Amino acid sequence: MLVITAVEIEGFKSFGSPGVVVKLSPLNFIVGPNASGKTNFVSALRFLQNAVRQDVEFAVNELGGTAEVRHKAQRQRMAGKHLRLCIRTDDEITLSAPDDPLGVAVRNFDYTLVIDLRTGDDIPVILEESLRADVDTGKGVKPYRLERNTETATIYDPLPSNKSEDAVAVPEQESSRPALAVGFFSLPCVLFKRQIEAWTFFNISPHVARQPYRAIPEAKLGPYGENLAVVLHELEKRNGKKHLSALAVGLRSIIPGFQDVRAVRDGLENKWALRIVEEKIKALSPGSVSDGTIRLLTLMVIAQLGVERRALIAIEEPENGVHPHLSEHLVDVFRETSHKSQIIATTHNPAFLDHLAPAEVLLCGKKDGFTRIQSAEDVAQIASFQKHFTLGELWTQGTFDGFLE
């Protein structure tokens, strides 16, 4: 897993100029009032993923066009104002082969994408792009570099088979497609692209999650909980019945009366559906199960998939429909998952903060109409404050107001 250590955002939605640099930990909860920019931070990551998966024009259209991507104050200006996204990571990805036990390790990825959203024909253009990393072949560490502008892309790859420093012309039709999306058969480029493509984003809708779905090859849990029953079936098929039993045991401890969960197939429609077993009740159809139970089940599955996939997981307001006394349990589940998959959650629930370290809490607010985000760890008096109050109490009291830079 590559842990994102910092994200820099400039000119995207509620983020203005100069850019905001946000430090991240393996586990992150973003707290702040409504319309402060919590969701916009997550949207910036999803925007980058869409750009890398396809191109920037697609990413812009997914958000409703350039008018929805740029800050409302900035988009009224006639002069162009660029959008800048930067991702920095630590940790490393190691690849090895039987005939090469040392393998190759790539670490310290630093990626920047700068986009012009005010071109004459309203098609976004990539102004700058760069990817830097350190490549260790076992015989020393050498820098990798990809540099791209509106006209050319240049790669310096220290691997013997790919070593090159020639500039490649950027075709006009590729003006909105990142070089990272192309890959150029360059190992650091391909590895970093795969990491971004593996990011997952969730905003759970119990109504969607409880629906039956047809099994399809490599079914994935959708952003709103789609395919939940199918994924449960696949987890059981892959890991055995004991796997779902372990999931049920965890839910029994937090949901009164809960006994078991099953994925059953409807022979007529060939769909997989949920069945929840409660005390003294043989089985409940999904429509008879509370939204909170469906949400908790979906969160537990997300956590399990996170342990398997080792990628970034972003979750919008996991507390919705869940009793506040379960906050500590959910934090414990997410913290365990964060050992394998980095977690970013947006929340309005102060109870979460009571079980988090300052480095795991991101304070979000607005200053002069622009989103600012700061780690609670960087609040100068945080150690002194915590001698008397919990982080949740400090937030609800408004103690953190005014600390955003």
Mind giving me the DSSP string for 181-204? HH-TT-HHHHHHHHHHHT-EEE--
Task: Copy the structure tokens of residue 133.
Answer: 């990393």
pLDDT of residue 62: 93
Mean model confidence pLDDT for the chain: 86
Mean pLDDT computed over 300-321? 88
Pair (218, 86) in one structural domain: no
pLDDT of residue 310: 77
Amino acid at the residue 253: S
In 3-state terms the chain splits into helix, strand, coil percentages (rounded to 5) of 35, 30, 35
How many domains does the chain contain in total? 2
Pair (215, 173) in one structural domain: no
Helices (H), 63-171: 66-69
- Of 183 and 196, more confident: 196
Q: Which domain holds residue 258?
A: 201-310+312-356
Pair (295, 164) in one structural domain: no
Pair (229, 159) in one structural domain: no
- Judge whether 38 lies within some domain: yes
Residue 324 above 60 pLDDT? yes
Which range has the worst mean pLDDT, 24-38, 61-75, 80-94, 233-247? Answer: 233-247
- Judge whether 383 lies within some domain: no
For 71, the enclosing helix (H) or strand (E) is: none
Global confidence as pTM? 0.91
pLDDT of residue 204: 96
> How many Å apart are CA 46 and CA 13, to the nearest integer?
13
Under the banding of pLDDT at 50, 70 and 90, the label for residue 118 is confident
pLDDT of residue 270: 82
> How many Å apart are CA 405 and CA 382, to the nearest integer?
15
- Judge whether 386 lies within some domain: no
Residue 243 above 80 pLDDT? no
How many Cα atoms occupy the beta-carbon half-sphere of 180 within 13 Å? 30
Beta strands in 52-210, from DSSP E residues, in sequence order: 82-89, 92-97, 100-116, 125-136, 141-148, 152-156, 167-169, 200-202
- SS3 state at 375: strand
Residue 35 above 70 pLDDT? yes
Pair (265, 280) in one structural domain: yes
Mean pLDDT computed over 87-113? 82
Pair (194, 208) in one structural domain: no
Pair (24, 164) in one structural domain: yes
Mean pLDDT computed over 320-344? 92
